[in-house]
Amino acid sequence: MSDWQDKYVLVTGCTGMIGSWLTSKLVQEGAQVVGIVRDHVARSNLFINQLDKHIYIAYGDITDFNFITRVMAEYEVDTVFHLASQTIVTIANRSPLSTFESNIKGTWNILEACRLSPTVERVVVASSDKAYGPQDQLPYLEEYPLRGRHPYDVSKSCADLIAQSYFYTYGLPVAISRLVNVYGGGDLNFNRIIPGTIKSVLENRNPIIRTDGSPLREYIYVQDAVTAYLTLAQNLHRREVMGQAFNFGPHCPVSVLEIVQEIIKVSGRKLMPDIRGKGSSAGEIKHQYSDSTKAREILGWRPNWNLNQGLLETMAWYSNFFEKVKALG
């Protein structure tokens, strides 16, 4: 039997890219998944692939504490994966209050409901490498201070610290994931470099780079991200894991230009990057990448997908997605 067989698992953010793939894997493993959905995004991976028909859906907002406590009580939730957040940097810069409301208040609501629940045994909170903010040295290490500066980064720094406080103060069995940039099918924010570039390539247009192409990032395929979340949860009974944060990444930073060139290469088309910027984007840190040695040594986690394999799978997903959308009119 799977470790997840018949476990009641709450996934916030199940309509998001990572959340939908995590939900799919948990369903495959026999879990009874409860997904919290605020907005019905018809073209999200969850709905377009009919994953919603295999889970319980609770419609509501994570900023509503009474709603959260009711869901946890009614479904006798065992495990919580808290992935829901406002994740788009440009929206966070335009609308910081709604971002703080969702990402910070939403997190303390989830954690407080977990603290009060008699059934919750483990909680995984999704932070991000963005929580580190600007640092003097790279790669990021887990012991570095969290120094977010821009609204999205600050919201992740705050949520991360709040999660740690619930372990150190109340002994809540919580751990924190700090993933690098996750890519894969289901990301419908086409302002992001990978889905935006794939969309351009599939439309046979030269992809636009709005920086000079030099910023360095790490990219992890969504299935490796899902494995990271599940591995972290499965190890949460261990003293050296509770209350801890873990970086998850492939130890292979690449530039924006390199990622665009790799997508073009995978597509097999004769296109060229259209570089229009100078330096990095406003409101973003120029270089960001992490050291995931802690996750490798303590959790035994390692990525299974290299960039070429992940991009091939991702491009196939988007090609199929656009065909489905076209068919739906």
**How far is residue 301's CA from residue 295's CA, in Å, rounded to a whole number?**
6
Q: Which helix (H) or strand (E) holds 268?
A: none
Nearest one of 271, 274, 269, 262 to 314, comparing CA atoms: 262
Active-site pick, 8, 152, 166, 183: 152
**How far is residue 255's CA from residue 274's CA, in Å, rounded to a whole number?**
15
Amino acid at 106: G
Would you say the C-alpha torsion 255, 153, 42, 114 has a positive or negative sign? positive
CB 179 within 8 A of CB 249: yes
Structure tokens at 183: 């890519």
CB 296 within 8 A of CB 304: no
Structure tokens at 182: 């996750």
The residue with tokens 């059934």 is 119
Please indicate whether residue 144 is annotated as part of the active site.
Answer: no
CB 224 within 8 A of CB 303: yes
**Which residues are the active-site residues?**
152
